[in-house]
Amino acid sequence: MKTKLLAASAIAASLVLVAGCGNSEASDSKKEESKKTETTAKHEDHLDYHDQKSWQFEAGDTQSPINIETAKTTKMEDKGTIELNYNQKVTDEVDNGHSIQVDDGGTALINGRNFELNQFHFHAESEHTMNGKHYPIEAHFVNESQDSRLAVIAVFFKEGKANPAFETILSNIKKGEKTTVSEPINVAALLPTNKTYYHYLGSLTTPPLSENVEWYVMANPVEVSKEQIAEFNKYYDGNNRKVQPLHDRPVLKHTD
């Protein structure tokens, strides 16, 4: 990010994306690792969401998720446009013991910077809160740049009309197993049409809780039905990390 954003040191840190890739083997290794770290604990087979204090924690004061107080956000001065082009033909779907994860590909152009989608997964109830309010489900789309920087796009799901794309995902779940998905998934239906978002610098929400992760929390939720929420809750209901202190981090708002 440029110009006025440079005044906020936490946001300025996100500009290191201009650096090129290093050793290709190291980059490949980081890519494989980053596909897993957002939903899979590195050093534990299972996460106990009822005992989050025992989770392995690297260190730092820029943890995620956070509560977004919309009245205290700052207008983003950069253009901030997000363009998402995710694949409808996904690789597979897995119940990994922490979430339902869909391995997918595609591209994300975030404020003029290129990322690739690794996977997306779901938490219930939402990990982030908006003015103290949880949503029933939150989706995380985990994107990675060439230099292995992570940018996570978070989307809230609210109760409303049935979502065909989410229905396809629910119908493919096999508890504790990985499934090959034969039919296409309209991933765009899991994203809001209006791309207004809140941006801050945070962390992964599962161990090792690594920091320097860019978060883009969509302001507009996507509808899924009451029945779809109940069906997801049969597998996961409470796989959300507790809200973490903001510690004076700036939260920027981009209006689409």
The angle that helices 226-233 and 164-171 make with each other, rounded to 10 degrees, is 30
pLDDT of amino acid 210:
94
pLDDT of amino acid 45:
53
pLDDT of amino acid 31:
45
> Considering only CA atoms, which of 20, 36, 143 is closest in space to residue 83?
143
Q: Is 131 left (phi over 0), alpha (psi -120 to 50) or beta?
A: left
pLDDT of amino acid 256:
95
φ, ψ of residue 187 in degrees (nearest 5): -60, -30
Q: Which of 43, 50, 98, 140 is catalytic?
A: 98
Q: Which fold has domain 3-254?
A: Carbonic Anhydrase II (3.10.200)
Helix, strand, coil share (%) of the chain residues, nearest 5:
20, 30, 50
pLDDT of amino acid 215:
98
Task: Tally Cβ neighbours within 10 Å of residue 177.
Answer: 10
φ, ψ of residue 190 in degrees (nearest 5): -95, 0
pLDDT of amino acid 5:
36
Q: Where are the domains of the chain?
A: 3-254
Check: pTM over 0.85? Answer yes or no: no
Question: 140 catalytic, yes or no?
Answer: no
Walk along the chain (256 residues) and give the pLDDT tens digit of each residue: 433 333 343 443 443 333 333 343 444 444 444 444 443 433 345 789 989 988 988 778 999 999 999 999 999 999 999 999 999 999 999 999 999 999 999 999 999 999 999 999 999 999 999 999 999 999 999 999 999 999 999 999 999 999 999 999 999 999 999 999 999 999 999 999 999 999 999 999 999 999 999 999 999 999 999 999 999 999 999 999 999 999 999 999 999 9
HSE of 69 in the Cβ direction (CA atoms, 13 Å)? 7
150 strand-pairing partners = 144
